[in-house]
Amino acid sequence: MEEFTSKKDLESQYEARLNEWRHALDSKQRELDNISQKMVLPIDTDILRMRVTKDIEARFRVELETKTLELEKMTDAFYECKRQLDIVRTTMENHKYESEKIIEELREKHKNEIQQLFDENHGLQLRIEEQRDREIVRQVRRDLEEFKKRYSDSSIEVNELRKERDALKLEKNDMIIKQAKEIEDERNLRRSLNTELDKLKFRTKCLEDDLQKAQLKAEKRTQESNAISTEKTSLLSLLKEKEILLDSFKRQLTELREELHQREDALDKAMRRQMEEDREKGALERKEKSKLQREFEIIERNYSELEQQRKREIMVQNEEYENIQKKYRLISEERNIYLQKLNGMQKEMDDVRVRLEQKVDEFELLEREYKKLQDKHRDTLNNEYNLQTTKEHLEASMRVMQEDMQRINNEFEQNVFKWKRERQELIQRVGDLGNALQKTNHEFHDTKSKCKTYKEKLRLANSTIKTLTGKVVQYELDRAPASGGGDEIRVGGLNLEHAAGRDSNQSNRGSDVDIKEAIHKVMQDEQLQSQVKRLLNQ
């Protein structure tokens, strides 16, 4: 009976162990189902929400950055205008001081020249009153006509020069408009590059987030695979333990069989010995033997059932083990796929970074070119303002000088009118001129010598004018661009030199009127005066 109870205890322990293994296998199956469900990635609402918020922030961030950039540009422009205003004020004060100096010098020169002209006019009037010579009057008329012709030629040249100046102004305005358009195009390019840069930054951030999430998922998968491998090893160890228990059960069964055989042998011997003595007990022993035989058959049946159940469980566990291996292979394949995707994303990230660096380099080059263009534009504006101020000062001085020359011309016309009145008196006094002819001959020789001196002075003045015009042309050629402005300035310089040479050729007589006309021509020519003043300033 004790052996029978021990067998029942063993069977109950075996069944309890089997139930525990079944529960463990069911729990592992549930965990594997959960893992397989997790393998199908759901739609991550957090990622979508983050992307939507980033998109909205990117939109408003671009606007804010553009507004801040515009504010910075406005502040830079304000400080630049302030600085330019200070520069303009200083340059205006310098030009004012220099122009006042030049005006004072010109006034002094003008006063001296007017005084000389008045002295010469007074001397001529005295000579006319004393000599009453018809030839001098005719010469004066001829000089007056020549002066009128020269004045008309100079006015035509002045009109041509004004037209050329207007054409140069138009070209300058066209150049300024082109530069403004180029600056606007570069600003638009800069804005577009900024927006592309922001987009690339946002894309890089999104890719980095995706990379981190993929890395986390890969780590989770590796952890799960490691856990599954540990569980697999634990299950294998449990199977080995169960096999060991089964072997122990087999040994116990063999031992029981041996004990049964021994008991049967003992019983046979006892029966043979006590056949005669224990005939009465034979029936009881047979009954016990039959009971033991029945118990043995029951044990054998139970053992066969347990053996079949064990084989089934081993088959089920092997199938589950194969399924786990298949799932592990699938997980490893998915892990490799995710690793390949991660490598691809890493390569894309590297490419995006390289492109971003290239875009940043291009953006820096464009910024440098834009700064250079801004500096050029500022220099051109400063030069234009300086030229405008010098032009205004020179125009004011020229107006004053023209008024003075107009007054001198009016006085000269009044003198001519007086000469016409005195013509009749001169005709009446022609008789007196015969007596004074010898005196006039002596004076004629003196005037010839004076004419020679005046001719030399005129030649020197013409040579100085030619050198000044050549310097002005060279300066304008060095200053103007080589495309269109240089040819026009060269033509203007050649016209000036031609006019100066023509004046020198026409003034061969060397009279005082030629000197007056040359001075008047120089005073009337605005461009020549401005060029002479620029050379003097330099």
What pLDDT score does 482 carry?
44
pLDDT value of residue 131: 52
Among residues 118, 200, 189, 150, the alpha carbon closest in space to that of 520 is found at 150
CA end-to-end span of the chain: 137
Q: 268 phi and psi, to 5 degrees?
A: -60, -45
What proportion of the chain, given as a percentage, has pLDDT over 90? 0
Q: What is the pLDDT of residue 179?
A: 76
| Tally of CB atoms within 10 A around 465 | 23
Instruction: Report d(CA 507, CA 515) in Å as an integer.
Output: 8
Least confident of 97-101, 145-149, 258-262, 423-427: 423-427
Is a pLDDT exceeding 80 seen at residue 320?
no
pLDDT band at 23 (very low <50, low <70, confident <90, very high): confident
130-134, 191-195, 497-501, range with greatest mean pLDDT: 191-195
The pLDDT assigned to 136 comes to 67
- The more confident residue out of 67 and 537 is 67
Half-sphere exposure of residue 166: CA atoms within 13 angstroms, side-chain side: 6
Instruction: Specify the DSSP class assigned to residue 509.
Output: S
Q: Which residue has the tokens 């050649």?
A: 494
Is the pLDDT at 160 greater than 80? The verdict is yes
d(CA 112, CA 398): 17
Which tokens sit at 57? 């922030």
Side chain identity at residue 8, one-letter code: K
Q: Look at residue 43 in the predicted model and tell me its pLDDT.
A: 47
Mean pLDDT over 161-171 rounds to 81
Instruction: Write the CB contacts of 56 (distance below 8 Å, at least 6 apart in sequence).
Output: none
pLDDT digits (tens, 9 = 90+) for 233-271: 777 777 777 777 777 777 777 787 787 777 777 767 766
DSSP-derived secondary structure letter, 507:
T
Which residue bears the tokens 């080589």?
A: 482
pLDDT, tens only, 352-378? 777 777 777 777 777 777 777 777 767
- Cα(490)–Cα(262) distance, rounded to whole angstroms? 143
Q: Are 363 and 200 in contact (CB under 8 A)?
A: no
Q: Would you say residue 488 has pLDDT above 50?
A: no
Q: pLDDT confidence of 512, banded at 50, 70, 90?
A: very low
Residue 278: what pLDDT? Answer: 65
Give residue 6's pLDDT.
Answer: 63
Q: How confident is the model at residue 279 (pLDDT cuts 50, 70, 90)?
A: low
Model pLDDT, residue 175? 82
Contacts of residues 288-293 at CB distance under 8 Å and 24 or more positions apart, as own/partner, are 292/260
pTM beyond cutoff 0.85: no
Give me the pLDDT at residue 217, please: 77
Q: Give the per-residue pLDDT at 415.
A: 67
Residue 506's pLDDT is 47
Token code pair at residue 93: 């004060």
At residue 42, the pLDDT reads 46
Instruction: Dump pLDDT digits (tens) for 449-475.
Output: 766 776 677 677 677 777 776 766 666
pLDDT in the model for residue 132 = 55
- The Cα 504–Cα 510 span in angstroms is 9
